Amino acid sequence: MPDASRRSERSRSAILRAAVALLEEKEYADLTVEAIASRAGVGKQTIYRWWGGRGPVVLDALIDHLGPDGPPSLPDTGDLEGDLRLVLRAIVAELADRRLSATTRALTIETLSSDEFAERMRDRLLRPQLDTIKERLRAARAAGQVRDDVDLDHAVELLIGPAYHRWMMRTGPLTEGYADDMVDLALTALRPAAVRSGAAGGAADSP
Amino acid sequence: MPDASRRSERSRSAILRAAVALLEEKEYADLTVEAIASRAGVGKQTIYRWWGGRGPVVLDALIDHLGPDGPPSLPDTGDLEGDLRLVLRAIVAELADRRLSATTRALTIETLSSDEFAERMRDRLLRPQLDTIKERLRAARAAGQVRDDVDLDHAVELLIGPAYHRWMMRTGPLTEGYADDMVDLALTALRPAAVRSGAAGGAADSP
């Protein structure tokens, strides 16, 4: 690798690490290209030249932060409902927090504004995260806890789509109770009929 | 009403009608404040002064276009699944069409960017539309086709949230088959246990 490439690669890494560090410390509104450049020890023109602006550099920083292996698998305790409640509660808690969700808000605006950004965001950041839920559902299906005829991508969207809609449109509070209720509804749709009527009967009989 | 107020009210109406007419004729990208002003026969400074920009005037135009009675009720044929399929197919078809969904995309960006816009959008444009689905589900509940213990706002989100998530994140095709599958999943979650096992049994037995 020639020196110039090595230097570029070092600067690129420094910029991405600076962006992640600032994301953890600051409000998204204060996360300017200037602040990233200053922390990384590069000129802000370098960032504009390589990325064009704040959104794309933040996206690359988050992708870089995920690492080559992507996000860790979800826990599989055998209790599908319990495992999914933890996932959805975590998503809902993040969306409910204005500071934590500011990055998601900014990335969603960029996604709605640019095809190129949307594809990179989907393929490199979102899909790996959705796939962790899909793999947990696949294991549940192998264990007879999810219907064989369900499209697992649809199942993932059934679980998380309502929370994102509520967040985006601000149509109601994002609480733990909401997360649990949406897991309950989704699992009622996803369970095999035999398991479902058993569970529904049990729930109806309980005091 | 003094002459000046009457003139203002006439200009306001002309602007809102011009915006709706242009929305039907043009790409959203071509719907500039200048184009609206020119069609309405006012100066563009009037629009900037009263609304601040394109997003808020388009939102008010759509609210005005709904009229004081809001959107019409959904058809109630007694066949809940059929009625909901029509609704979700229409939503999905609009989201799948880049031209038709450009307005929704622009309004969603504004919603994510401004609290004031978000609240007006939710209360005056979105909620009345979601309520038509909620009322259809309420009638279904009265007819014993939806569980008594379901929160109807959650039920509406279960139906439409996945499609909006798929649209926003571009994670899959928005087709009629997708719409029908999401209605099927949502109704499996929403039906009373007795109806559900009957229906699931019937579906499993059919060729």
At residue B103 the predicted structure's pLDDT band, cuts being 50, 70 and 90, is very high
Stretch A100-127: mean pLDDT, rounded? 94
One DSSP character per residue, A84-135 reads: HHHHHHHHHHHHH-HHHHHHHHHHHHHHHH-HHHHHHIIIIIIHHHHHHHHH
* H-assigned helices in chain A: 3-25, 33-40, 44-51, 54-66, 80-96, 98-113, 115-120, 127-142, 152-169, 176-190, 193-205
Contact across the interface for B162 and A166, Cβ inside 8 Å: no
Contact across the interface for B171 and A153, Cβ inside 8 Å: yes
The pLDDT of residue A6: 81
**The domain at B80-205 falls in which architecture?**
Orthogonal Bundle (1.10)
Inform me whether the pLDDT recorded for A59 exceeds 90: yes
Inform me whether the pLDDT recorded for A64 exceeds 60: yes
Query: How would you classify residue A73: left for phi > 0, otherwise alpha for psi between -120 and 50, otherwise beta?
Result: beta
Contact across the interface for A200 and B196, Cβ inside 8 Å: yes
Determine the Cα angle at B102 with ends B98 and B105, to 5°. 115
| Of the candidate ranges A108-117, B4-13, B68-77, the one whose mean pLDDT is the lowest | B4-13
The pLDDT of residue B206: 40
The residues, ordered by sequence, that sit 6+ positions from B128 with a Cβ below 8 Å of its Cβ are: B66, B70, B71
Kindly calculate the radius of gyration of chain B based on its CA atoms and give it in whole angstroms: 21
Which has the higher per-residue pLDDT, B151 or B6?
B151
> Do B187 and B81 touch, CB atoms closer than 8 A?
yes
At residue A105 the predicted structure's pLDDT band, cuts being 50, 70 and 90, is very high
What confidence tens digit (pLDDT) does each residue in A84-96 have?
999 999 999 999 9
For chain A, percent of residues with pLDDT exceeding 70: 93
Q: DSSP assignment, residue B111?
A: H
| A168/A55 Cα distance (integer angstroms) | 18
Stretch B11-23: mean pLDDT, rounded? 95
Stretch A108-114: mean pLDDT, rounded? 93
> Do A193 and B197 touch, CB atoms closer than 8 A?
yes
At residue B30 the predicted structure's pLDDT band, cuts being 50, 70 and 90, is confident
Q: What is the ipTM for the molecules in this complex? A: 0.89
Largest CA distance in chain B: 72
Our CA-based measurement puts residue A180 at a distance from the nearest CA of chain B, in whole angstroms, of: 11
Inform me whether the pLDDT recorded for A155 exceeds 90: yes
Closest by Cβ to A169, choosing from B126, B178, B185:
B126
What confidence tens digit (pLDDT) does each residue in A20-40 have?
999 988 888 889 999 999 999
> Do B71 and B128 touch, CB atoms closer than 8 A?
yes
Burial class (CB in 10 A: 0-12, 13-18, 19+), B127: middle
- Cβ–Cβ pairs < 8 A, chains A and B: 130
| A18/A36 Cα distance (integer angstroms) | 6
User: What chain B residue is nearest to A116 in terms of C-alpha separation?
Assistant: B170
What confidence tens digit (pLDDT) does each residue in B83-96 have?
999 999 999 999 99
CATH topology of domain B3-61: Arc Repressor Mutant, subunit A (1.10.10)
| Of the candidate ranges A49-63, A130-144, B62-76, B184-198, the one whose mean pLDDT is the lowest | B184-198
Inform me whether the pLDDT recorded for B160 exceeds 90: yes
Inform me whether the pLDDT recorded for B1 exceeds 70: no
The residues, ordered by sequence, that sit 6+ positions from A142 with a Cβ below 8 Å of its Cβ are: none
The residues, ordered by sequence, that sit 6+ positions from B61 with a Cβ below 8 Å of its Cβ are: B15, B16, B17, B19, B20, B23
The pLDDT of residue B27: 84
Name residue, tokens 């959904």.
B74
At residue B197 the predicted structure's pLDDT band, cuts being 50, 70 and 90, is low
Kindly calculate the radius of gyration of chain A based on its CA atoms and give it in whole angstroms: 21
Task: Sort out which chain B residues have CB atoms less than 8 A from A204's CB and list them.
Answer: 193
Residue B99 CA, chain-centre distance (Å), reads 15
| Of the candidate ranges A81-85, A188-192, B110-114, B199-203, the one whose mean pLDDT is the lowest | B199-203
**Do A3-66 and A80-205 have matching folds?**
yes
The dihedral of CA B13, B17, B23, B28: what is its sign? negative
* H-assigned helices in chain B: 3-25, 33-40, 44-51, 54-66, 80-96, 98-113, 115-120, 127-142, 152-169, 176-190, 193-205
Stretch A80-86: mean pLDDT, rounded? 98
The chain-wide mean pLDDT, for chain B, equals 91
At A150, which amino acid appears? V
At residue B196 the predicted structure's pLDDT band, cuts being 50, 70 and 90, is low
Counting every residue, how long is chain A?
207
The pLDDT of residue B193: 84
Contact across the interface for B151 and A181, Cβ inside 8 Å: yes
Task: Sort out which chain A residues have CB atoms less than 8 A from B200's CB and list them.
Answer: 193, 196
> Which of B116, B169, B178 is the mutation pick for testing A, counting most A CBs within 10 A?
B169
Inform me whether the pLDDT recorded for B111 exceeds 90: yes
Structure tokens belonging to residue A139? 């294991």
> Do A33 and A50 touch, CB atoms closer than 8 A?
no
The pLDDT of residue A45: 96
| A157/A146 Cα distance (integer angstroms) | 15
Stretch A121-145: mean pLDDT, rounded? 97
Of A158, A179, A80, the C-alpha closest to B188 is A158
The chain-wide mean pLDDT, for chain A, equals 91
Inform me whether the pLDDT recorded for B3 exceeds 80: no
Inform me whether the pLDDT recorded for B207 exceeds 80: no
CA A11 → CA A24, A31, A46, distances in Å? 20, 18, 9
At residue B198 the predicted structure's pLDDT band, cuts being 50, 70 and 90, is low
Which has the higher per-residue pLDDT, A172 or B2?
A172
CATH of A3-66, picked from 1.10.357.10, 1.10.3720.10, 3.30.565.10, 1.10.260.40, is 1.10.357.10
- Domain map (residue ranges) of chain A: 3-66, 80-205
Of A143, A140, A169, the C-alpha closest to A156 is A140
At residue A195 the predicted structure's pLDDT band, cuts being 50, 70 and 90, is low
Contact across the interface for A190 and B185, Cβ inside 8 Å: yes
Contact across the interface for B153 and A168, Cβ inside 8 Å: no
